[in-house]
Structure 1
Amino acid sequence: MVIRLIIGALMIGSVYGVVGIGYGLIYKASGLMSLAQGDMLMFGAFLGITFYKYLQLPFIIALLLTMIIMFMLGMFIERVMVTKLIEKGAQTVYIILCTISISMILQNSSMLTWGSNVLQFPAIFNSASVKIFGVSVAPENLLVLGVGIIIMVALQLFLTKTKFGISMRAAAQDEVAASALGINVPLTKGTAWGIASMLAGAIGVVVGPVFGVYMSMGAMIGQKAFAGAVVGGYGNMFGAIIGGVFFGFLETFVSAYLTSNYKDFITFGILIIVMILMPKGIFNEEVME
């Protein structure tokens, strides 16, 4: 029982962590906040089920195609919408409203395209379950956990070991100095939005077989991922992971040993307490000016 709960908590915690990383990546790269990450996950799940179920493509191809499309969508949003608003002198609150509008557009376009019913993602593996310490676990749950870990590690390596990743970090710290050194700051910002969108879409594809695919699936995931990012220290990548896993364990064990009716109440109640006691989060992340 406990092993199954731990695996489930790590699985959903990795989902929150990956989406939370997207929030932090956008914030670090551009100093802005996007509230559309949850619906990016939802839209990626719909793309994935289209490629895999309806077009009969191999799962890995469906996943890669979804990631490419979501990356381009993220860059399009930043380059065509967000940048234009900034050039017009729009305040930060208007950027946030823009991302909320994008979220609504994604939801409604998904409903018009795929309908409002829950779509069942076909099985990815031939086996219905695998044994871990004598406990039967669905392989799709392990896939979510594995993909989440791979994404987190790959992103960390990209940001710290590649020339472009280091350029992104430099541009996030000081745009003027980065530009003086020849770094294409607009490109780094657009890439950050693209990567955040791509990560959400990728985790949406692998979580689809676990929860099904439906229009509102990204709403609560996005909110809890945001909560995890705040608790960890908004903008801190490791903080987003720790915060996401924390909420994954919290809601899993509250549902198992207390009640599932109030798990969201407890989750967001703790978020408020953390915001009051530790406004900079667990990692004491400084607010960007």
Structure 2
Amino acid sequence: MTSSLGPEQVLAFVALGLGYGALIAGLATGLVVTYRSSGVINVAAGATAALVAYVYSELRTTGVPFALVIGLVVAAVLGALQYLLVYRPLAKAGPLAKLVASSGVLLTAQAVIVLRWGADPVAAPAILPQETVDLLGVSIPQDRLLLAGLVIVATALLWALYRHTRFGIATRATADSAKGSVLLGLSTGRLEVANWVIASVLGGLFGMLAAPTTQLQPTTFTLLVVPVLTAALLGGFSSFGVTVATAFGLGVVNSLIALLQGQSWFPQVEGTPLPGVTELVPFLVLAVTLYLRGRALPDRLTAVAPPMPRAPRPRRAGPAMAVGAVVAVAALAGLPFDWRQALVNSMLGAVLCLSVVVTTGFVGQISFAQMAVAGAAGYVMATVGGDLGLPFPLPPLAGIAAAVLTSLLFSVPARRVRGLQLAVLTLAGGVAAQRFWFGNPQWGSGLRPANVAPITVFGMEISPSRSFWGTEPPSQGFGLVVLAALLGCVFLVAWLRRSDLGARMLAVRSSEAAAAATGVNVGAVKTLAFAIGGLLAGVAGVLYGYTFTGVSADRFGPLTSIAFFGVAVLGGVGTVGGALVGGLLVAQGLLFHAVTTWFGIPPDYQPLFAGLAVVLTVIGSPDGVAVSVADAARSLRVRRLALGES
């Protein structure tokens, strides 16, 4: 480590940051293109670029000619397929449905990469020259400078395309008024598919060019969605120039932080630089910028919230809970150990989905930070019960309190930031929490899981590994603890939906301006929703810690949070029943265990099926499985009554 910085070092690291910034810029400009043409915030942009880069890398290493051209063709095909198969059927859907569909595409692309190429890093063959040039006495890699130049050229071409060509003018006209464009004889479908091809080719091109400058690994490109969304968001999803400038700024800041981490005065943790700073700084910049730019209430153009899935009042909740409890107890008593574990996993997933129901289904706040909130509960519980040695029930209570406080921190920007902006902010916050907190060996666990002491009541241990009645773990006793927690959470959410507070939440979801005009304290309602959602996520985090006897950073990562959000919407984000259906659909839950057991499908395919299920369900049933099943059952009863009367 060094103790001083020279201008040569700073210049060198600024140049190194240009490559990373160029990759962010290439993906972010594509994001602007898809949003301007189709209104889709494509969180799968990084995963799609990674898929193209992997294809190119394999073609090059196997000696296939014209690998770059084939890669561009693959990118174009992926862009066209995404629009035609996913977003064209959702043309009249709200932004939430499109965002969830995009998360399903992300999960699908991620699963394909892992299944085909594995999770280990892949060395991507270089396309651009690797030699260095001397600039002001500093040796700078040519590929970084060329990447930056190519991004600037591409940005200029995009600006000219959408400003001065008939195609660009038609695209802007379609974005302003689709009906008006149809009346003018414009083919909106052709325009949108062309824009998706352009965006995908841009992302694929810069993914292939920049892959040698960064590590080609499934999560590396996928998690680029955070800086990519940050750049596009600060550019208003409209300005190519501001988006690219922000992207370069993020790349340079990321590189300079790496330079500062090599200084002797930089904070150290167990002899290594403080982790997570590169993720924390962009999150703080984004949070402050959006908070200052946001408004306590939306303006006239956004006074009415976009369509959300229905949130009907629960009927016969008491009898349904009683029947469900009896069935669950019988299953815990009679099922073999592997099915008991799948049932426990489903119950845990249902609790976390209930937190999404409150924050998104009831009050309309799109949060991708629920796993970060759950992780806060797990890590605080591990610290209180392990390092401090406090007895049960103090560790889980402390963990749940930490989850509520963490969720309240996210509620602060939610007072002035809403909708898709809040989704981007909470996703960035989830990444920062995973790297800066959970991945810190001093505050979290680093690369090792943090052990969680089992539940001990009057000297009796209740844990998954503690066998009851001579059976294999997980024990029935621990399953009953999880069931009791789930029933309590179900009762809380069902009561909330039927209460006056629930009515105020739905009023805020429908229209913040209208709710405020009727006397509803919008800020207070949002804060309460985040507090209750944090409590539910905290219960889930505590139960996860007890179930797996430890907590680790990868279990509470942002991609897992996206997956849970998608599953919650898939089940029905506006209902308690939807959360229970979502619990059945989580990875390692009952449904996927049944599929892998009965049909012999390897567990590695669970993420692929989950991603496809999210996309198909959003297209076929925007309100979720639970609401669709309830509607079908209600229609069937009406038909039977009608036939009986006739």
Common fold by TM > 0.5: yes
Q: Does 1:219 align with 2:222?
A: yes
- 2:113 maps to 110
Letter of the aligned partner of 1:201 in structure 2? G
What pairs with 1:1-289 in structure 2 (closer than 5 Å)?
1-57=9-65, 61-86=66-91, 90-124=93-127, 128-257=131-260, 261=275, 262-279=277-294
Measured after TM superposition, the shift of residue 29 of structure 1 is 0.8
The amino acid that maps onto 2:45 is: Q
Cα offset for 1:272?
0.6
Paired residue total? 279
Q: Please state whether the residue corresponding to 1:158 is helix, strand or coil.
A: helix
SS of 1:137 mapped into structure 2: strand
Structure 1 residue 56: Cα displacement: 4.0
* Residue 127 of structure 1, CA deviation: 5.4
Task: Give the secondary-structure state (helix, strand or coil) at the position aligned to 2:41.
Answer: coil
Question: Which structure shows the bigger proportion of residues in helix conformation?
Answer: 1
Q: Distance in 1 between matches of 2:145 and 2:61?
A: 21
Distance 1:120 1:9 in 2: 20
Match of 2:89, SS state, is: helix
Alpha carbons 1:37, 1:200 under 8 Å: kept: yes
CA distance in 2 between partners of 1:159 and 1:277 (Å): 30
Assess, with a 3 A threshold, how the Cα gap between structure 1 residues 123 and 42 changes in structure 2: closer, same or farther: closer
In 2 relative to 1, CA 17–124 (structure 1 residues): closer, same or farther, beyond 3 Å? closer
Q: Once the two structures are aligned, what percentage of the paired residues are identical?
A: 20
Preserved CA contact (<8 Å) 1:228 1:246: no
Rg comparison, structure with higher value: 2
Distance between the aligned counterparts of 1:126 and 1:273, measured in 2? 39
Structure 2 CA distance, aligned partners of 1:125 and 1:238? 24
SS of residue paired to 1:276: helix
Q: Distance in 1 between matches of 2:206 and 2:255?
A: 19
Whichever residue aligns with residue 55 of structure 2, its letter is L
Which range moved further: 42-51 or 9-18? Answer: 9-18
One-letter code aligned to 2:106? S
Cα distance in 1 for residues equivalent to 2:124 and 2:198:
24
Alpha-carbon offset, residue 64 of structure 1: 2.8
Deviation at 1:118, TM superposition (A): 1.0
Distance 1:63 1:208 in 2: 13
Distance 2:209 2:96 in 1: 33
Matching residue's letter, 1:139: Q
Distance of 1:234 and 1:125 partners within structure 2: 29
Residues 12 and 125 of structure 1, relative CA distance in 2, 3 Å threshold = closer
Q: Which residue of 2 aligns with 1:283?
A: none
Match of 1:84, SS?
A: coil
Q: Which has the higher contact order (CA 8 A, sep 6+)?
A: 1
Listed one character per residue, the Cα deviations across residues 19-46 of structure 1 (whole Å, up to 9, x for unaligned) are: 1112221111112222111111211211
Q: Distance in 2 between matches of 1:120 and 1:172?
A: 40
Supply the AA of the counterpart residue of 2:278: K
Q: C-alpha distance in 1, partners of 2:136/2:244?
A: 25
- Letter of the 2:102 partner, please give it: T
Cα distance in 2 for partners of 1:279, 1:238 equals 22
Q: Is the 8 A contact 1:23 1:235 kept in 2?
A: no
Q: Give the AA of the match of 2:203.
A: A
CA RMSD of aligned residues (A): 2.4
State the shift of 1:119 in Å.
1.1
CA distance in 2 between counterparts of 1:126 and 1:136 reads 14
Q: In 2, distance between residues paired with 1:127 and 1:70? A: 25
- 1:51–1:150 distance in 2 versus 1, CA, 3 Å: farther
Structure 1's 230 and 46: CA in aligned 2 closer, same or farther, altered over 3 A? same
For the 8 Å contact 1:38–1:223, the answer to whether it is kept is no
Distance 1:132 1:63 in 2: 30
**SS across alignment from 1:216:** helix
Compute the displacement of 1:108 (Å): 1.1
Report the CA distance between 1:111 and its aligned residue: 1.4
State how far apart, in whole Å, the 2-side matches of 1:184 and 1:147 are: 31
What amino acid sits opposite 2:58 in the alignment? T
